[in-house]
Amino acid sequence: MNVTTILLIIINFAGALAVFLFAMKMMSEGLQKVAGSKMRAVLGRMTGKPLSGILTGTAVTAAIQSSSATTVMVVSFVNAGLLSLGGAIAVIMGANIGTTVTAWIITLLGLGSGSGYFDLPLLIAAASLAFFFMKRDKMHSVGQTIIGLALLLVGMRCLQSAMPDLSNYPSLLHGLASLSGYGFWSVLLFVAIGAVMTCMVQASAATMAITLLMLHNGWIGLDVAIALVMGENIGTTVTANVAATVAGIAGKRAARAHFVFNVLGVTLTLILFRPILSVVQLVFPNDAPMALSLFHTMFNVMNVSIQSWFIPQIVWIVTRMVPEKKKKNESDDYRLTYISRGPVDTAELNLQSAKKELQLFSKQVLRMYALLPELRTVKNAKEMDAVVKRIAQYERLTDRMDMEISKFLVAVGGGSISGHGSERISTMLRISDNLESIGDSIYQIALTRKNKYSNAVHFNETQNTNLAEMSALVENALLVMDGNLVNYDHANIRAAEDAERDVNACRDRLREEHLDALRHNRYGYEVGNAYSSLFAQYEKLADYIINVSESIDPSFKKS
């Protein structure tokens, strides 16, 4: 075998693998578009019962055909506080069972000979045509899913064609045979090879397909294939752990739990390796790929059945693997924690995390606004500077949160996403922008207060009372806005409209009284300028607040 031949084999194999991975991605994205919002709702209603978590994880993964997508989503949901760590571990266990569906699809459909080269894939692809002629966006997603399945089978045929016939290369077969000749050490070696392969490809379905093809062609034995599959189960945990690098403590623990669960499962299976091998060979004595698929299912079901009784112990292990870090300063409380980014594109499912991040954003501007009353009661310039400095820190935080959330939403929107998902992204971008503007307005009010103090400008009792009233009305509007973000799908738009109307009415009254006071020289220019600037800034702040509710419900238009 010369260098040119090796290079051609590698290129052909890489191209076939690319088709297979693209098909998996297309099928997964189509399923997410069809069931994405329902999957979010299912996980959002998750209870703490292990059985319900396992069943949910199994169903979600079987539905979206991606255990990596499920585990990345679970990391995100734990980060967002939607799932407890114990509940997340149960879902991850179920995801391992759900992912076995892919192996059965490949075994039953992808390894068949058929009457023509692309007969079955073309038949499946033809079935998708009807869905693309329908007007509903969801039907197009169903069509995408079917096309993805057809391409998956095409990818399998391409992999079969691209794989060199090792029988023509006795030296390679001899090399594989020699690696298999060290008994239990060979099993451990192929476990490691399977883990590395999956880490490199970042898709356990692809490595499973390669393993099935090698077994189908007789190049490896069932024992070696089983060892590779066990390694693939360890390698697939890398995806969630990569996604968790930007997650909080809870998200990192959920990702570690996935790793711990699979490593413990592999360890247990290695102890019972020979009995399990005998069982699958007894069930399918003449069909090695079917025996491997059976093992894959048995492996995950057995591990879940045993380890589900020890979820508290797994929680204990990962809690010590990822301990709490002591916060160095107050700013550690205010960082993006709900959004987890990973190599898996789960566009439809990521929007739940973005929604939770916006709710956190709202809480930050509420805390920022709560500092403004302190500016009215400071005793000296040092106290004034300290409060303004804290507000300035929040203002920089709101800028950063807006930038990060917007960057994340734009990245999600750049993927394959449904029309409804695209509309949700536009809405969230507007909300984030207005929340950032609220932060800017609060900071401007703080600077106006500071300038007033520095210039020794003093308001009379009536002015202080009026500004306190205006401040209270804006605070009420903020609370209504925050409630609407929490109850995103059932926002109380009427309450937001009433709060905005109250602020505008107060602004109009203060403006009339201010103009009358200027006509009668009740206070000087500096006092009047600072006073009018403040109530105008409060009213402008209220405009940004109502814009958030307007974004949540586009049918609502502020008066």
Task: Tell whether 205 and 148 lie within a shared domain.
Answer: yes
pLDDT of 558: 46
Q: Specify the number of domains making up the chain.
A: 2
Quick count: other Cβ atoms within 10 Å of Cβ 502?
18
For residue 52, the tally of other CB atoms under 10 A from its CB is: 17
**For 445-490, how does the pLDDT look when each residue is reduced to its tens digit (9 = 90+)?**
999 999 988 888 888 889 999 999 999 999 999 999 999 998 877 7
- Would 331 be classed as within a structural domain? no
Please check the confidence at residue 222 and state whether its pLDDT lies above 50: yes
Lowest mean pLDDT among 337-346, 396-405, 497-506, 513-522: 337-346
Tell me what the mean pLDDT of segment 270-293 comes to. Answer: 90
Residue 183 burial by Cβ neighbours in a 10 Å radius (0-12, 13-18, 19+): exposed
Structure tokens at 473: 């009305």
Same domain, 284 and 429: no
Note the pLDDT of residue 117: 44
Looking at the structure, do residues 281 and 402 belong to the same domain, yes or no? no
Length of the chain: 559
336 part of a folded domain:
no
Considering only 62-76, 77-91, 356-370, 436-450, which range has the smallest mean pLDDT?
62-76
pLDDT tens, position by position, 165-210: 555 655 655 666 677 777 788 889 999 988 888 877 767 777 888 8
**pLDDT for 14:** 81
Give the whole-angstrom CA distance, residue 333 versus residue 367: 12
- Residue 548, CA distances (Å) to 409, 438, 484, 543 in order: 17, 10, 9, 9
Q: 39-53, 74-88, 406-420, 435-449: lowest mean pLDDT where?
A: 39-53
pLDDT at 59: 80
- The pLDDT of residue 95: 87
The pLDDT assigned to 333 comes to 44
Do 204 and 108 lie in one domain? The reply is yes
Look up residue 152 and give its amino acid.
Answer: L
* pLDDT greater than 70 at residue 12: yes
pTM exceeds 0.95: no
* 504: in domain: yes
Claim to verify: residue 86 and residue 154 sit in the same structural domain: yes
My answer on whether 139 and 279 are in the same domain is: yes
Mean pLDDT of the region 501-513: 92
Within a domain: 335: no
Which residue type is seen at 142? V
pLDDT of residue 330: 43
Higher pLDDT, 162 or 41: 162
115-135: pLDDT as tens digits: 444 456 666 667 777 776 676
Tokens, residue 97? 């069972």
Least confident of 172-176, 287-291, 393-397, 501-505: 172-176
> How far does Cα 248 stand from its chain's mean position?
13
Which residue among 305, 321, 337 closes a domain?
A: 321
Residue 111 lies in a domain: yes
Assess contact for 551 and 493: CB atoms under 8 A: no
Q: Are residues 505 and 427 in the same domain?
A: yes
pLDDT in tens, 38-78: 555 555 555 557 888 888 888 877 766 667 667 766 776 67
Across the range 279-298, mean pLDDT stands at 90
Residues 541 and 458 in one domain: yes
Kindly state whether residue 337 falls inside one of the protein's structural domains.
Answer: no
Q: Is residue 172 part of a domain?
A: yes
Residue 349 has pLDDT above 90, yes or no: no
CB-count exposure of residue 274 (10 Å: 0-12, 13-18, 19+): exposed
Q: Could you please report the per-residue DSSP string of 444-485?
A: HHHHHHHHHHHTT----HHHHHHHHHHHHHHHHHHHHHHHHH
Statement to judge: residues 312 and 355 lie in one domain: no
Domain boundary among 306, 321, 336: 321
Can you give the pLDDT at residue 422? 82
Same domain, 271 and 363: no
Could you tell me if 222 and 371 lie in one domain?
Answer: no
Instruction: Output the pLDDT for position 335.
Output: 52
Task: Read off the pLDDT of residues 96-114 as tens digits, 9 standing for 90 and up.
Answer: 898 888 778 778 776 654 4
| Structural domain for 123, as ranges | 3-321
433 and 296 in a single domain? The answer is no
pLDDT of 332 strictly over 50: no
Q: Can you give the pLDDT at residue 413?
A: 78
Top-confidence residue, 10 or 225: 225
% pLDDT > 90, the chain: 28
Amino acid, single-letter form, for residue 226: I
440 within some domain: yes
The CA distance from 128 to 102, in Å, is 20
HSE toward the beta carbon, residue 339, CA cutoff 13 A: 23
* pLDDT in the model for residue 114: 46
Q: Determine contact, residues 509/446, Cβ cutoff 8 Å.
A: no
Residue 378 has pLDDT above 60, yes or no: yes
Tell me the CATH number at 482: 1.20.58.220
Identity of the highest mean pLDDT range in 234-248, 324-338, 345-359, 452-466: 452-466
